[in-house]
Amino acid sequence: MANPLIPPPLLSAPAEAAAFYRNAIPVSYAAFRADLLAARRALMRLNAPEIVLFDPDTYAFAVWLIACWLNGQTALLAADDLPATRAFLPQPWVGRSPHSALPDWSGCADGTLAEADAFSVPAPQFDRPGIVAFTSGSSGAPTRFFKAAALLLREGATLQEGFGSHLPSDTCFVGTVPHQHMFGLPFRLMWPLCAGFPIISEQFRYPEELGRLSADPHVLISSPATLKRLAQLDTFSSPATFIEVFSAGSPLHDSVAADCAIRLGEPRIIEIYGSTEAGNVMHRVAPNGAWREQPGVALALDEQGCLKLRSPLLPDDGWFQTQDTAVNDANGWRLTGRIDRVAKIEGRRVALDAIEAALLALPEIAEARTAPLSRERDEIVAAVVLSEAGREQLQALGKTRFDRWLRQRLSTSVEPLALPRRWRYLSALPYNAMGKLTAAAIVELFERHALPPFAVTSRSAREVVFAARLRDCIRAFDGHFPQLPILAGVIQVDWALRLAQRYFPVEGHFSDLRQLRFQRILRPDDEVTLTLRFLPEKNEVRFSYASAQGIHSQGNASFAHPAVASDTAS
């Protein structure tokens, strides 16, 4: 009897066939099977029913995950290995992280067993194979959710039935989304694993990187944010043939889908609606396609107009309730928003979706997101990306008058109570790795001491490189100086210290700055790179700000426990 925790190709695919590509080098099924057995033995030594799995390499992640399931263990999926995440997840960590109990499975291989024995020996230790994901919704607060391994593998099989029957056998799966999230996991990993398609192990974070693909058929798993960047590129070319492109996480605009179809050689672009708990629920072919239920899914509306559903990807036959509002007419389903995007301002209900729709109707606005903010008073705040016309108007009026002008334009369609009172004008909205915008991310833009929306461009255990457009951090220039705004040195140091403490396991508190040099001023129109290098042997972080003009500032920050710092001072 077949083991339901083993994707069929792991048993049936020829030993020499390619299961993955790592840095363009094929990994055979024979190597995959051997690594699985070694990883199973390594995990058994932990004797832990739950482990935290974090590995940015999709192949290594897949080996650990399947080995974990075959041992009957549960894998808690970590989105990163930052100090706060490690504190939140105290279980043993597995995968490529400086803090892992098992960074790899070397030393546990056994070449004496035949391939057929790799999935039956040794016996499972535990009896709860699956994953734990952490959902945040719009609030940003993590909620633990268990999903059985059998349901994830079932989802992979159903994706092949619904979308993959016409794909050539050598189709490669490539993703711009991370494999440990609940869109990347089923679409970028489970589906090709269950169907036997080779998987490109690295995550392509930027659309330009797709130009490095080989001249083979590909399925692209992406997000609206990345597809929008692709549509905006001046030029794009890739030798790859794209057959299908899948997008999820936030709405994909039809204009973006149409532009990407042209750039990618007219693949079928499919937008997915689903959730961590329910898996994929509906899909539509973009642009202009209507939403259609996935096979076996039943949809209905509750008394508030919110979707509820039954699905073979749920653990039982009961109705699963969502917070997404929708209508159903002759053209199929249409998603209209979320019921939890209704805020209370001074006791009145305010629909955030309605405010954003009014903003997007203005030619000066390209993107907009609003959120409620409770400080001295309850109010609505808005983060927007301006069109070319909007940027020209902002330049002509200045921020204060432009804020007032926007409020006046909105006043014909938005009641006074709901008019945004604070504004941030950004080059891009702060989407997370899955292309989602949380209310917490918007509110953070309005915190008095908020970090700017830095993007991580590269990362290793000892170095992180960030990029930011200082125009997105315009509030940091307040008071320095009205006629010649510059970014104060104390702010540059503050940003570097806070990011260092967030991304590196520095011990103790900041204690000293050395070799601090300010070489060039930073102005609002600069695009900067901040590089942080961690020296664990000195408990020190070196930072430097640079742009196309060269180095702007740099220094070394030392950290020490309070007692050590006091002894040094005396």
Tell me which of 443, 466, 490 is where a domain ends. 443
* Contacts with 546 (C-beta within 8 Å, 6 or more apart), sequence order: 528, 529, 531, 552
Start-to-end Cα distance in the chain:
72
Apex 276 CA angle, 160 and 309, nearest 5 = 80
Peptide bond into 92 cis (omega under 30): no
Q: Within a domain: residue 494?
A: yes
pLDDT value of position 568:
41
Q: pLDDT-derived band of residue 497, with 50, 70 and 90 as boundaries? A: very high
CATH number at residue 556: 3.10.129.10
How far is C-alpha 79 from the geometric centre of its chain's CA atoms?
8
Q: Is the same domain home to 407 and 495?
A: no
* 299-335 pLDDT, tens digit each: 999 988 899 999 999 999 999 999 888 999 888 898 8
Query: Which residues face 489 on adjacent strands?
Result: none
* 514-533 pLDDT, tens digit each: 999 999 999 988 999 999 99
Q: Is the same domain home to 452 and 564?
A: yes
CATH number at residue 392: 3.30.300.30
pLDDT value of position 434:
64
Q: Is the same domain home to 416 and 467?
A: no
Q: Is the same domain home to 539 and 512?
A: yes
The answer to which of 12-16, 83-87, 88-92, 311-315 has the lowest mean pLDDT is 83-87
Q: Within a domain: residue 546?
A: yes
Q: Within a domain: residue 364?
A: yes
Tell me which of 443, 472, 491 is where a domain ends. 443
User: Per 3-state DSSP, what percentage of the chain is helix, strand, and coil (rounded to 5)?
Assistant: 30, 30, 40
Apex 310 CA angle, 308 and 313, nearest 5 = 125
Q: Is the pLDDT of residue 348 over 80?
A: no
Q: Is the same domain home to 469 and 565?
A: yes
Cβ contact 347:359 at 8 Å: no
Q: Is the pLDDT of residue 444 over 60?
A: yes
pLDDT value of position 93:
95
Q: Is the pLDDT of residue 276 over 90?
A: no
**pTM of the shown model:** 0.79
Q: Within a domain: residue 366?
A: yes
Residue 460: C-alpha distances to residues 40, 106, 534 (Å): 26, 21, 10
pLDDT value of position 561:
56
The answer to which of 57-61, 112-116, 194-198, 565-569 has the lowest mean pLDDT is 565-569
pLDDT value of position 543:
97
Q: Within a domain: residue 321?
A: no
Residue 472: C-alpha distances to residues 62, 146, 451, 454, 458 (Å): 38, 38, 11, 9, 20
Q: Which two tokens stand for residue 166?
A: 């016409």
pLDDT value of position 433:
65
Q: Within a domain: residue 161?
A: no
pLDDT value of position 464:
93
pLDDT value of position 566:
41
pLDDT value of position 570:
36
Query: Which residues face 533 on adjacent strands?
Result: 463, 542
Range(s) of the domain holding residue 479: 448-569
SS3 of residue 384 by DSSP: strand
* Contacts with 315 (C-beta within 8 Å, 6 or more apart), sequence order: 148, 151
How far is C-alpha 102 from the geometric centre of its chain's CA atoms?
24
Q: Is the same domain home to 374 and 452?
A: no
Count of domains for the chain: 2
Q: Is the same domain home to 463 and 427?
A: no
Nearest CA among 67, 40, 182 for reference residue 129: 67
Share of the chain above pLDDT 70, in %: 92
Q: pLDDT-derived band of residue 211, with 50, 70 and 90 as boundaries? A: very high
Q: Is the same domain home to 478 and 537?
A: yes
Q: Is the pLDDT of residue 478 over 60?
A: yes
The residue count of the chain comes to 570
Share of the chain above pLDDT 90, in %: 58
Nearest CA among 192, 223, 242, 205 for reference residue 59: 192
Cβ contact 283:292 at 8 Å: yes
Alpha-carbon gap, residue 272 to 313, rounded angstroms: 15
Per the model's pLDDT, the better-predicted residue between 138 and 212 turns out to be: 212
Q: Within a domain: residue 220?
A: no
Q: Is the same domain home to 470 and 564?
A: yes
Q: Is the same domain home to 511 and 539?
A: yes
Per the model's pLDDT, the better-predicted residue between 205 and 260 turns out to be: 260
Q: Is the same domain home to 563 and 478?
A: yes
407 DSSP 8-state letter: H
Q: Within a domain: residue 508?
A: yes
Per the model's pLDDT, the better-predicted residue between 136 and 279 turns out to be: 279
Alpha-carbon gap, residue 297 to 333, rounded angstroms: 13
Q: pLDDT-derived band of residue 82, with 50, 70 and 90 as boundaries? A: confident
Cβ atoms < 10 Å from Cβ of 450: 14
Nearest CA among 501, 428, 503 for reference residue 226: 428
Q: Is the same domain home to 452 and 565?
A: yes
Mean pLDDT for all residues in the chain: 88
The answer to which of 104-118, 492-506, 533-547 has the lowest mean pLDDT is 104-118
* Contacts with 141 (C-beta within 8 Å, 6 or more apart), sequence order: none
Tell me which of 416, 443, 470 is where a domain ends. 443
* 357-396 pLDDT, tens digit each: 999 999 999 999 999 887 767 889 999 999 999 999 988 8
HEC profile of 57-116 = CHHHHHHHHHHHHHCCCEEEECCCCCHHHHHHCCCCEECCCCCCCECCCCCCCCCCCCHH
Highest mean pLDDT among 109-123, 434-448, 494-508: 494-508
